[in-house]
Amino acid sequence: QVQLVESGGGLVQAGGSLRLSCAGSGRAFSIAAVGWFRQAPGKEREFVGVIGRSASSTYYADSVKGRFSVSRDNAKNTVYLQMNSLKPEDTAVYYCAGGLAGRGLASSASTYDYWGQGTQVTVSS
């Protein structure tokens, strides 16, 4: 089994930055791509970004492109989501998700095999 735990959420003013972490344990080595999603109250879960196993491949939603970046440290089994120039509309619970090899850099939540519990990000105006 694989466990994913997010951390780093909190309250930040618009224009500020946060870095979220997603730490993997268990059989985390079996994870290839790691995606980030978010869900605001009353809205569907939304794709944010994804990184491949090699960390050289990333893909982002248009809404965060140029502001957010995903990186990973395979030695630490940890993936990061650096969020800059935050806006109030970025307020949501952020989840990381792990996909087994062969899934590719997917933006569909249904593609992922493992999920963290989420961390709240609140951006005040």
* Per-residue pLDDT tens over the stretch 52-95: 988 789 999 999 999 999 999 988 999 999 999 999 999 999 99
Stretch 9-28: mean pLDDT, rounded? 94
Tokens of 91: 């307020």
Which residue has tokens 């344990």? Answer: 25
Mean pLDDT of the chain: 94
Stretch 17-21: mean pLDDT, rounded? 98
Residue 28 has pLDDT above 80, yes or no: no
Residue 115 has pLDDT above 90, yes or no: yes
Biggest CA-to-CA distance, the chain:
41
Residue-wise burial string across 2-12, b where 16 or more C-beta atoms lie within 10 A, e elsewhere: bebebebbeeb
Residue 83's closest CA among 35, 33, 21? Answer: 21
